[in-house]
C-alpha cells in the first residue's frame, strides 16, 4: 500500500443496508464491487467523480466488467437506490463528503498540535541555550581566576562580587549604569573607575 494512502470507514454490516441489498439483488456481487470501487475513487478524487465514459472505463478496468454494466450500476445507484447524487454531470455521495470533512478536521487538528509542540520545543531549546550560555560565562569567569560583579546592590552604588564581597562603584561606572551600558559582570574586583 502506498505511503500516502488513506482509508475510509466501511461499515462491517453495509451489505445489510436496504439500499445496498437492493443493489446486490439487481446487479449481484459485481454491482456491489462497482459501488465500492466508485466510493474509493470518490475518496481519491476529493469527493466526486465525473459522470462520463472516461470514469466508467476506469471503474470497468478496476472491476473487470464491461463499461455498459458499470454505467448501469452507477445510474441505478443515483436514480433507483439513492446511494449517490448527481449534480451537473458530477457524481457525489453524502457519506464520502462527510468522511473527507472528518479527515480534514483530523489533519487540521494534528497540524495545530504539531505547531504547538514545535513552539514548546523551540521555547525549551531557547531556554536551554540561554542556560548553557550563562553557564559558559560563569565558567569563563571562574577559570580566569578573576572576581567579577554578580549584581548591583544599594541603588546600584555597589556591586556584589562573585566571591561574596561588595565593592563601591566609581563615578564613571555610575554614569555607565545610568546610560544602560554597564552590567554587573563588566566590573572586576578592585577596579573602580
Report the C-alpha gap between 185 and 140 in whole angstroms: 11
Smallest Cα–Cα separation from 119: which of 127, 109, 108?
127
Query: Are 106 and 137 in the same domain?
Result: yes
Smallest Cα–Cα separation from 151: which of 185, 188, 192?
185
- pLDDT higher at 42 or 160: 42
State the angle between helix axes of 94-143 and 18-44 in degrees (0 to 180), rounded to the nearest 10.
Answer: 40
Long-range (24+ apart) CB contacts under 8 A made by 50-58 are 50/89, 50/90, 50/91, 51/86, 51/89, 51/90, 51/91, 52/89, 55/91
Query: Are 36 and 81 in the same domain?
Result: yes
Query: Are 30 and 6 in the same domain?
Result: yes
Element (H, E) at 10: none
Query: Are 57 and 27 in the same domain?
Result: yes
- pLDDT higher at 16 or 44: 44
Query: Are 135 and 181 in the same domain?
Result: no
Report the C-alpha gap between 33 and 96 in whole angstroms: 16
Query: What pLDDT does residue 3 have?
Result: 47
Query: Are 40 and 82 in the same domain?
Result: yes
Judge whether residue 143 has pLDDT over 60: no
Query: What pLDDT does residue 73 have?
Result: 97
Structural domains in the chain (count): 2
Mean pLDDT, range 148-152, rounded to an integer: 72
Q: Could you tell me if residue 193 is inside a domain?
A: no
Lowest-pLDDT range, 42-46, 49-53, 101-105, 123-127? Answer: 123-127
* Residue-range definition of the domain harbouring residue 173: 146-186
Q: Could you tell me if residue 2 is inside a domain?
A: yes
Q: Could you tell me if residue 192 is inside a domain?
A: no
State whether residue 112 is helix, strand or coil.
helix
pLDDT grade for 4, boundaries at 50, 70 and 90: low
pTM over 0.85: no
Amino acid at each position: 500500500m502506498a505511503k500516502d494512502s488513506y482509508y475510509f470507514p466501511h461499515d462491517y454490516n453495509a451489505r445489510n443496508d436496504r439500499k445496498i441489498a437492493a443493489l446486490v439483488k439487481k446487479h449481484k456481487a459485481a454491482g456491489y464491487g462497482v459501488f465500492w470501487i466508485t466510493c474509493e475513487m470518490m475518496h481519491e478524487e476529493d469527493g466526486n467523480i465525473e459522470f462520463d465514459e472516461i470514469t466508467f472505463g476506469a471503474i470497468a478496468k478496476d472491476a473487470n466488467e464491461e463499461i455498459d454494466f458499470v454505467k448501469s450500476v452507477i445510474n441505478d445507484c443515483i436514480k433507483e437506490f439513492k446511494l449517490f447524487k448527481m449534480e451537473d454531470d458530477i457524481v457525489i455521495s453524502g457519506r464520502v463528503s462527510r468522511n473527507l470533512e472528518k479527515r480534514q478536521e483530523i489533519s487540521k487538528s494534528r497540524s495545530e498540535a504539531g505547531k504547538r509542540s514545535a513552539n514548546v520545543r523551540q521555547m525549551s531549546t531557547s531556554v536551554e541555550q540561554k542556560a548553557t550560555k550563562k553557564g559558559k560565562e560563569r565558567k569563563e569567569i571562574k577559570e580566569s581566576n578573576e572576581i567579577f560583579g554578580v549584581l548591583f546592590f544599594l541603588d546600584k552604588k555597589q556591586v556584589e562580587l562573585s566571591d561574596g564581597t561588595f565593592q563601591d562603584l566609581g563615578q564613571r561606572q555610575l554614569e555607565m549604569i545610568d546610560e544602560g551600558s554597564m552590567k554587573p559582570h563588566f566590573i572586576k574586583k578592585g577596579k573602580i573607575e
